[in-house]
Structure 1
Amino acid sequence: MLNPTLCAQRSLTNSWTSLSWQLFGWLTTPALVIPPLVLIIVLPWLFRRLRWRRRISGLGAALLAAYLLALSPIMLKIGSRALITFLPSDAGQPADAIVILGRGKAMRPQRVDVSARLWETRRAPLLFASGWGDAQEIATMLEKKGIPADAIDGEPCSRTTEENARFTAAILQPRNVHHILLVTDPPHMLRSLLTFRSLGFDVTPYTNPLPQGLNARTKAFLVFREYLGIVGYSLQGRFLPREPSAADLNPTAIVPLKETPPDQLVAPAVAG
């Protein structure tokens, strides 16, 4: 596995990842969201000369209604179902590798269990973990399950789904790995599958269950975040066919990483 000290520092990506998870943590705390929205509704009416008070108050009311709707069980069910409806089914065919995406400490046990079972049933000879702050830990957990070290590889550099796909392609495709079993949670799978497919992988999705202790509010915003991610990736053309580049892991552009691991960036309910 690539040494994490050889991971290139990408300040823009790192800042955006940190900011997005901090925003996620704020949105998953109603006590921090609802009071400001109520103020937006009420305050304009205290200023009678304010020309746009009806519109400002109406905007606040619309945002509050949308927020409460996003938290509702029915929207969570509908949103979650839509993200997995169009995923291709698993026909049970062997693959070249099992690729496990990092998603924080709380998600690791389920990913490791699913991936270990796939390897034990000889679905693929190689387990490949991808993700900064996750890859090495996943590899260690797999070894503790009795899987030999020479069947485990990975990259601990990627901080986004886009980098998961690009760095994995840069390492595995030169080794003639093209058909992969992709392991991640259900909300994250559609965006991951489309991104990996755009870089030339033949992808069979294999979802792991979400942690049992994850509350409904956090599940709702994981789903909501994925819809935003799908829209953003679509606008950036990240689902269109493209060629992977080995330059993604060019040792000449490398400096040590010194930032906070992603386990400490996620909302408390996600981090466990």
Structure 2
Amino acid sequence: MLDQALCNRPPSQWLELKSAIADWLMNPILVVLPLLFLIFLPWIVPRFRWKRLWSGFATLLLITYFSAQFPLITAVANKGLVAFVPADRGQSADAIVILGRGQVFRNSRVKVAANLWESQRAPLIFASGAGDGTEIVQKLEQEGIPKTALEEEHCSQTTKENALFTASVLQPQGVKRIILVTDPPHMLRSLLTFRNVGFEVIPHKSPAPHLTQTRKAMMMFYEYMGLVKYGIKGELVPQNTAKREQPQIVGQR
């Protein structure tokens, strides 16, 4: 069972920092002006040491910031994230699991999950995510899905917690195979993380909404950084049997 006290936690410091960085990077003026200042400052101050190093580094950051927003760059980055995700071959499952990612992504995921349920791919739909779980279930009810086929948790703040908290609710019910619904860039990390806690996962990508190039670039950046972080912590490979039976929840980020 999931400890409901986990739902009352304040956002982690990492999530708050991540949100602040995203807000900053999505405002070009707040990025470009400081970088231009760093480029020209060494040449304005007469005794500034390592002028070429400081100016060159700031110039590289400025070029990287703009080039990362080119449609071709984001398309290639997205291709790298989805290339290793297996196709959904239509197998049945024990449950459909929807991962929350905010209001902008919600409607498309609800439609995808409702279609999967109506196609009798699984008898249960489970929504996971703080600020999303309850809202997704409400929208699924509006789509005509009966309450008896819906469950949710609204405590998880990260992809790892999505997996852990979902496992703590569904695995005691005998759920082993799931159809995982999330957007294409997020799918690879989600697939590996849910396998890590013992699920057999069928990935089913949900279309991403129309986003600005800056937002797309941010998504790609976070996903690649997330893969590196989770990989270093060993959270992208299946756990042993003992750990699968007792998913650890408290203290995970």
TM-based fold match above 0.5 = yes
Query: Residues of 2 paired with 1:247 and 1:210: CA distance?
Result: 31
Q: Percent identity?
A: 48
Q: Matched residue pairs, number?
A: 247
Query: Residues of 2 paired with 1:22 and 1:139: CA distance?
Result: 29
2:223 corresponds in structure 1 to: 226
- For 1:190, which of 177, 188, 208 is the aligned residue? 188
Query: Residues of 1 paired with 2:122 and 2:74: CA distance?
Result: 34
> TM-score under structure 2 normalisation?
0.92
Partner SS, residue 71 of structure 1: coil
Deviation track 1:223-262 (CA, whole Å, cap 9, x = no partner) reads: 111111111111111112222435627xxx9xxxxxxxxx
Query: Residues of 2 paired with 1:2 and 1:225: CA distance?
Result: 27
Shift in Å at residue 93 of structure 1? Answer: 0.6
Runs of 4+ in 1 over 6 A off after TM superposition: none
Partner SS, residue 122 of structure 1: coil
1:248 corresponds in structure 2 to: 249
Query: Residues of 1 paired with 2:133 and 2:102: CA distance?
Result: 10
1:147 corresponds in structure 2 to: 145
Shift in Å at residue 68 of structure 1? Answer: 1.0
Query: Residues of 2 paired with 1:236 and 1:63: CA distance?
Result: 28
**Is the aligned partner of 1:239 residue 2:236?**
yes
Partner SS, residue 224 of structure 1: helix
Unaligned runs of 5+ in 1: 254-272
Query: Residues of 1 paired with 2:98 and 2:42: CA distance?
Result: 50
Check 1:224–1:121 CA distance in 2 against 1; reply closer, same or farther (3 A cut).
same
Partner SS, residue 103 of structure 1: coil
Shift in Å at residue 52 of structure 1? Answer: 1.1
- For 2:157, which of 156, 159, 162 is the aligned residue? 159
**Matching residue's letter, 2:161:** E
Partner SS, residue 49 of structure 2: coil
**Is the aligned partner of 1:25 residue 2:23?**
yes
Q: How does 1:1-272 map to 2 (within 5 A)?
A: 6-10=5-9, 14-212=12-210, 214-242=211-239, 243-244=243-244, 245=246, 248=249
Partner SS, residue 50 of structure 1: coil
Partner SS, residue 115 of structure 1: helix
Shift in Å at residue 183 of structure 1? Answer: 0.3
Partner SS, residue 25 of structure 1: helix
Q: Is the 8 A contact 1:171 1:246 kept in 2?
A: no
Query: Residues of 1 paired with 2:206 and 2:167: CA distance?
Result: 22
Shift in Å at residue 8 of structure 1? Answer: 5.0
Q: Is the 8 A contact 2:164 2:248 kept in 1?
A: no
**Matching residue's letter, 1:143:** E
Unaligned runs of 5+ in 2: none
Farther off after superposition, 133-142 or 43-52: 43-52
